[in-house]
């Protein structure tokens, strides 16, 4: 029996929700850099970023995803601490979702203060069998465009649902 219901399979290639816009605040990006223990001056020091040829500080590339986290009420927490609405809104025959990796392409620098619009589509659903049984490999693709309409980054996010 397939773990992917036909109505979910029909979503492959489709947009997942409306595009979301967020401004990448320098302080949030710096908080992320410090929390990751990454003190690269490109992210933290205006003068160093300018000396390297950028108009202002960059944001750590891994921060992009997190600038789009919406504020949520405590009532949205599940028992395991995950947000009820986290992850793509897809119905599958399995419910445990694991982080499987990311594939990033960076097309232009992302500066602190930029306002980005993220658009996500369901790129692929693949049914596979591993040592622990059948699972679904789920790939989403998100493009990030800046305030000038320039696509600055693209990520294919991989998750395993089993």
Partner 1 sequence: MTQRWAEDVKPGDELPPLVKHASRAQLFLFSAATHNPHRIHYDRDYARLEGHDDILVHGPLQGAWLHQLVQGFAGPRGRVLALSFQNRGRAFPERDLVFRGRVAAVDGDVVTLEVWEEDETGAVLMPGSARVRLPRR
Contact residues for partner 1, defined by CB under 8 A: 28, 31-32, 34-38, 40-42, 48, 51-53, 60-63, 65-66, 69, 77, 80-83, 98-106, 109, 158
Q: How far is the CB of 16 from partner 1 (least distance, A)?
A: 19
Q: What are phi and psi of 103, to 5 degrees?
A: -125, 110
Q: Which is nearer to partner 1, 56 or 106 (CB)?
A: 106
Both tokens of residue 38? Answer: 């990454």
Q: How far is the CB of 52 from partner 1 (least distance, A)?
A: 4
Q: How far is the CB of 149 from partner 1 (least distance, A)?
A: 21
Ramachandran sector of residue 133 (left: φ over 0; alpha: ψ -120 to 50; beta: rest): left
CA distance 154 to 152: 7
CA distance 121 to 137: 15
Question: Is-contact 65 154, C-beta < 8 A?
Answer: no
Helix H segments across the chain?
Answer: 6-9, 26-35, 41-44, 46-51
Q: How far is the CB of 83 from partner 1 (least distance, A)?
A: 7
């Amino acid at each position: 029996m397939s773990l992917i219901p036909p109505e979910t399979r029909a979503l492959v290639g489709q947009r997942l929700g409306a595009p979301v816009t967020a401004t990448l605040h320098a302080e949030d990006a710096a908080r992320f850099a410090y929390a990751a223990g990454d003190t690269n001056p490109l992210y933290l020091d205006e003068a160093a970023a300018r000396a390297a040829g950028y108009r202002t500080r960059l944001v750590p590339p891994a921060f992009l995803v997190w600038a789009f986290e919406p504020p949520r009420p405590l009532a949205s927490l599940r028992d395991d601490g995950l947000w009820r609405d986290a992850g793509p809104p897809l119905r599958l025959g399995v419910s445990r979702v694991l982080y499987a990796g990311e594939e990033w392409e960076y097309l232009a620098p992302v500066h602190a203060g930029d306002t980005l619009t993220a658009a996500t589509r369901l790129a692929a659903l693949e049914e596979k069998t591993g040592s622990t049984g059948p699972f679904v490999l789920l790939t989403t693709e998100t493009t990030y465009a800046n305030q000038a309409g320039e696509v600055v980054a693209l990520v294919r996010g991989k998750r395993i649902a089993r």
